[in-house]
Structure 1
């Protein structure tokens, strides 16, 4: 970007905007200079120079408007363009910290007076300021300098739009937690009777992909340990997540009476969520990416009805607390996503409560059928929050869903102690889409 002309008739010096420089750089006292509509801002450095072995640092914080005012309901994103010098055949290192992120780049010479040195997007913060912490280094050579820093407004957005987009993000997070709960149930004996012999099962599903296995081991009368692990690749309701999941549970069953179960599950996932917003350039549907984790604890209890030797009905209630860590999740800032969202380092809690009914019947001596239905709700424990470029930390509403679970499994004992089965299972809810699987399994007693 061509540097803004200083002291022309179309520019205004912002008397209330102050540039704060570190001791290794000097900002020209006549700057920053603002366009009449605050759409462009220019800063001139009297000195911002680094030579080999002697780095230069500069911290600059200015108001986004010449009069120093701030409209907290208006988000603003700028393009920052640096003009500087690097001699031919030399390399400089430039680092800038802004909006909670750090950018670094090797600047290859030649860069002459008036040449673009580096550029990036930057937003105003909650207080209406544009703040950068810059560092120049060079290992060897003549030296490197930055002469000017120019900001040009790229787009604006209202707070209402930012908060509405977080509603979509919250629904996507709730979708992931809810649908993973249905999947984790398969790892602690879903589609199997509450009691049975020691056995191991290998299972896989398509539609929402999974491949894993689980085991049941009886430790004493009425007590059993159940556990399993699986790789998964699933997506629904604006969320897509790929990774590995594990689950472990302890169950007690009183024959023909009550049962209780406590367990935990968790996994590491590559997460994608989508959201939609409208800014001054149009309507944008955007997606972020990051690696995070989910951990959960649950209790389950209910009543077992043994109707006869061939039929068993289980009525249950489950309460589950899930915790999501978003790790390094963030969206990429671009011309089509100026107001990117950053969830890096955040955690969130979700509570799931559901009622379930399972019926198992022996169709023949070698074939059994298990059907499952459930109804529940998942509720976020906090408002959806993210750092949105151009406005700072932004908070939306509470996300929740009412959902139904369903499953059907048909098992055939092909040989004593060996059973093959086919199953379908899924979950669907308000605002979270549908997750469905068709799968097969092999289980063996030991």
Structure 2
């Protein structure tokens, strides 16, 4: 822990004259010590209470104060600062300290000489220099004439971080947005019959899944002439995101019994009004570092086109080969992390909407195992690219934009159906994805489909 003390005299007197004075509150630095001295700053008297009557600027080279213990390159240090001073009994004053692009201020009363006048946190910046602007005002003198002054500034290291660690923490926010998109798109595929045969009777179904908890309903309807529609809605709760999810599609499959038949599909999904939780971890000088959880709200919407070929080698097997292009929008409300001793480098995260482009190739095999059992196995390989980053402003560090690597992922699933009656089928399924950014997301579920 580095402790530094800087002495200063910054008097303010309330009287009859008016005027203001600004000076440097920096003094001669003693390089063999962790302390320095500041020259006295005499302020003129004023009759205008509330006016700024004494100001000074300080630029403190922390490395010069402790040449044997320099701040490493790329490191930012935050200090807890205590400003000690004097205020006549019955008087009140105002202090404002500008630093690191912000201003901290307070009204003060009831001090005795040597009391803590004010406390705040100040940073070294990447250049190892503390830059301060101090402004002192006497708001009220109990007897019409008053005096207030600062005697010393003491500060001790509260924590330190690195630019690399902060950038990685902001990049992780972008990666979490990518994760939400990949996982929700995988779940939304269930709502448009991704684990069902391309050709099926009109039906409605209920489904539920654990892992990424999902409870919903879907429907399939044949329009005639090779056209059909699929749609569904579900409630979901997965890591970091919860809410409602909707999906729909229109598909064309060439009618007939040919061995090869082309098909095409357009569709959408949407998750409005989600509850989102973002987490960020960074080095702060402590053993375990800092981890911050922040809650906000957001929405997702996606649109896609699919084209492919259905291969039917016999009456009991169908294999669908397809490719999909998709664009997804993820929006979220901005939020500001709480500042505390455990989160000295708190982030202000700007809200906005980011875009994600996905391309994937898929294969699905449906087979009638017996007169009352059928299955569908499906797998896909794809990549998602984020077109925008996450814009933040980190206390004592400054603005940083987080970006995510492309997510190279595989999707996989299996469904086994048992025809309980000619119109009712009970299904069990697994559905999931694994990605280089999004990690693994898996669901195990069951459902019932009723044909009509």
Q: Same fold (TM over 0.5)?
A: yes
Instruction: State the structure with more CA Rg.
Output: 2
Deviation track 1:263-286 (CA, whole Å, cap 9, x = no partner) reads 233333332334443344445251
Partner Cα separation in structure 1 for residue 272 and residue 56 of structure 2: 42
CA distance in 1, matches of 2:101, 2:223: 51
Superposition map of 1:29-178 within 5 A: 31=25, 73-79=74-80, 153-178=157-182
Number of the residue aligned with 2:254: 254
Give the match for residue 245 of structure 2: 245
Task: For residue 161 of structure 1, report the CA deviation from its aligned partner.
Answer: 2.4
- State the 1:382 CA deviation: 3.5
Decide whether the 8 Å contact of 2:391 with 2:401 is kept in 1. yes
Does residue 345 of structure 1 match 2:345?
Answer: no
Greater Cα offset, 338-347 or 75-84: 75-84
For residues 406 and 297 of structure 1, the distance between their equivalents in structure 2, rounded to whole angstroms, comes to: 21
| Deviation, structure 1 residue 370 | 0.8
Report if aligned partners of 2:22, 2:56 keep a CA contact under 8 Å in 1. Answer: no
RMSD, matched Cα: 5.1
- Equivalence for 1:316: 322
Aligned equivalents of 2:303, 2:344: Cα separation in 1: 38
The aligned residue for residue 288 of structure 1 is: 293
The alignment status of 1:367 with 2:373, answered yes or no, reads yes
Q: Is the 8 A contact 2:245 2:271 kept in 1?
A: yes
CA distance in 1 between counterparts of 2:262 and 2:170 reads 46
Contact 1:124–1:392 (CA<8 Å) still a contact in 2? no
Deviation of 1:440 after TM superposition, in Å, equals 0.9
Residues 215/104 of structure 1: CA separation in 2 closer, same or farther (3 Å cut) = farther
1:167-246 to structure 2, matched below 5 A, reads: 167-235=171-239, 240-246=240-246
**Contact 1:290 1:328 (8 Å CA) reproduced:** no
CA distance in 2, matches of 1:277, 1:112: 38
Question: How big is the shift at 1:257?
Answer: 2.4
Distance (Å, rounded) in 1 between the aligned partners of 2:132 and 2:344: 17
State yes or no: 1:380 paired with 2:386: yes
Q: 1:204 to 1:150 in 2, by over 3 A?
A: farther
Q: How many angstroms does 1:360 deviate by?
A: 0.9
Maintained 8 Å contact 1:277/1:283: no
In 2, Cα distance between the equivalents of 1:308 and 1:60?
88
SS in structure 2 opposite 1:183?
Answer: helix
Aligned to 1:277: 282
Deviation sequence 1:164-196 (CA, Å, 0-9, x none):
333433333322221221111111222112232
- Structure 2 vs 1, CA of residues 123 and 60 (structure 1 numbering), >3 Å: closer, same or farther? farther
| CA distance 1:78–1:427, change in 2 (3 Å) | same
CA distance in 1, matches of 2:410, 2:219: 26
Show CA shifts across 1:330-389 (max 9, x none): 444333332233323143222221111111111222222111111111222245543222
Q: Return the alpha-carbon distance in structure 1 between the equivalents of residues 28 and 301 of structure 2.
A: 50
**Corresponding residue number in structure 2 for 1:297:** 303
Aligned residue pairs: how many?
Answer: 413
| C-alpha contact 1:284 1:337 (8 A) present in aligned 2 | no
Note closer, same or farther for the CA distance 1:246–1:169 as it changes in structure 2 (3 Å cut).
Answer: same
Unaligned runs of at least 5 residues, structure 1 = 14-25, 47-53, 86-93, 135-145
Q: How far apart, CA to CA, are the structure 1 residues paired with 2:156 and 2:28?
A: 10
